[in-house]
Structure 1
């Protein structure tokens, strides 16, 4: 049975990536693309690379669908749901940060949509809070070590592409500023820190301190993070812990060789590499911020919730720009 899909905020980067993926998904049909600011405009006029993919016109009217994706700016999903009556049987997947920490909203209980740890909960969910991009990359890098119950202080740096800032123009997204440039921002105060700690502290006996410095990169898409902490285990033992932890994870791979961001851009993959020097280990992780960090993971969550093959529609290398 084909399920109908609506996308709220379809004219943003995550919305356009959802359109690209879902246009090739065999089990869904795009019913409407909602946008207040661009209603009446064809999506291919905003994103010319979608010309041969989707020719739908953006609308400011909401239709009944089976699955609804919310691709709104942070803190706007709550407003949307408060202003619009969505039936309880509609699967809602929110790509904003509204329900990642506070998961209860009216009659809906949002499940945190990190499939590598919450797959069973996602299977029966009607409301899913999609994780943040940095949060996904950092959590996947560190989660296996929570099995040791020894985590305490973690020092993480991470660099992201310009699409991580969204479509709205800002001083730091101009090409002339971003090109050939790197800068730190939200040092030790990034909004994903609380989201990460909420997950990690569920599994770790000690309270964890995460010291995170994010960077803006001079590229369009992708995230690369490096997390440093103390660990007395041998490198081979740590690698075995990671291999076992992710043995059933469809999109996480553990590499014994150094990784780079190009390995994962335009895919729903997360690549992880671990290094050790004396008592210190560094866990590197790389994802595409718009895919495994947003729209790709949202489709992965949809597949799980609808009891479809987790990989369905996510062979992205051939279709993403």
Structure 2
């Protein structure tokens, strides 16, 4: 850890994503991990909760932290609980990367439909959607970044070149994630006995990431109503989205479609476009999204696959990628 440099607090560091963010900050050559907070686990050391991260810092109650002592914060709280904390730290002039859904949706009415009444709606206009491959310039100037959800990260990156070209007519997304995506608190659905040797869909037909994906596809110039179905896999980490696209121009060849992706992602360090079928092991413990595209000539559909590590590019390492941009560092510093 550097002896000087921006001091960053991780609020909610006892969860999977917060703990990984703290670990990445500990090894970062520019940022300092100034504090890691938790409520029920306050007083415990983070390396006792997560020995594999090797972060020898004591978790403190968030109520004991003075935002004035920090340059930035990563807020790893659930939706609704995050917004008031973000507002308090922003009012102190601290740059914030929020891992919740509270500032991802630009329309407060849409947020209300899917989550409930927004507790800090006046901050929505300040937030920048934190997908660097789409919003890099705006993130550099931002003080509040809404880190995307893990499913939207993989899906939007997998589909962005098609959306920019207006090629998505109808869209079905079959998404699968490891159990860590559900968070640290075990439920009956995520208990080992329920998950082991099993695959199950959940939150059908209204998963809350649906409007986030639709929002970003529309922002790319291709508004579409999607069918999105997530599944839980018996894995700890990893995520694969399979996107079935009815093309507006079904005669487009596979070569033409792949050229769109090559042109879109040629300069992107954390995007890999491949001719093979990507899997979750390909990207484990990395900030990489690995994308494969195939054309079904019989149906005229494009089938696009996106694989990420849900805790890395899907959450924590993407948060560091955003912080790097916000503070003027090289985008891949400490994560690539």
TM-score (normalizing by structure 2):
0.89
Superposed displacement of residue 47, structure 1? 1.1
Q: After the TM superposition, which of the residue ranges 107-116 and 247-256 deviates more from structure 2?
A: 107-116
Q: Counterpart of 1:254 in 2: which secondary structure?
A: strand
For 2:71, the equivalent position in structure 1 comes to 66
Counterpart Cα distance in 2 of 1:193 and 1:107: 18
Task: Say which of 133, 138, 151 aligns to 2:168.
Answer: 151
Q: After the TM superposition, which of the residue ranges 267-276 and 99-108 deviates more from structure 2?
A: 99-108
For 2:22, the equivalent position in structure 1 comes to 19
**Pair 66,156 (structure 1): closer, same or farther in 2 beyond 3 Å:** same
Residue by residue over 1:102-157, the C-alpha shift from the partner in whole angstroms, topping out at 9 and shown as x without a partner, is 48534970100011110000010010000000010110111111122232210110
Counterpart Cα distance in 2 of 1:164 and 1:219: 10
Counterpart Cα distance in 1 of 2:89 and 2:199: 44
Superposed displacement of residue 85, structure 1? 5.1
Superposed displacement of residue 294, structure 1? 0.3
For 2:285, the equivalent position in structure 1 comes to 266
Is the aligned partner of 1:201 residue 2:201?
no
Is the helix fraction higher in 1 or 2?
Answer: 2
For 1:282, the equivalent position in structure 2 comes to 303
Residue by residue over 1:282-321, the C-alpha shift from the partner in whole angstroms, topping out at 9 and shown as x without a partner, is 0001000001000010000011111111110003xxxxxx
Is the aligned partner of 1:93 residue 2:112?
no
Task: Say which of 304, 318, 323 aligns to 1:302.
Answer: 323
CA RMSD after TM alignment: 1.6
Is the aligned partner of 1:165 residue 2:182?
yes
Alignment of 1:1-321 (within 5 A): 2-50=5-53, 53-60=54-61, 61-63=64-66, 64-82=69-87, 84=88, 86-87=90-91, 89-102=93-106, 105-106=122-123, 109-205=126-222, 207-231=223-247, 232=250, 233-278=252-297, 279-315=300-336
Q: Counterpart of 2:305 in 1: which secondary structure?
A: strand
Q: Counterpart of 1:173 in 2: which secondary structure?
A: coil
Runs of 4+ more than 6 Å apart: none
The question of whether the paired residues in 1 share the 8 Å contact of 2:86 and 2:96 is answered with no
Structure 2: give runs of 5+ residues left out of the alignment. Answer: 108-120
Counterpart Cα distance in 2 of 1:202 and 1:85: 29
Structure 1: give runs of 5+ residues left out of the alignment. Answer: 316-321
Superposed displacement of residue 198, structure 1? 0.6
Superposed displacement of residue 192, structure 1? 0.6
Superposed displacement of residue 221, structure 1? 0.5
Give the number of equivalent residue pairs: 311
Q: Counterpart of 1:157 in 2: which secondary structure?
A: strand
Counterpart Cα distance in 1 of 2:100 and 2:270: 22
TM-score (normalizing by structure 1):
0.93
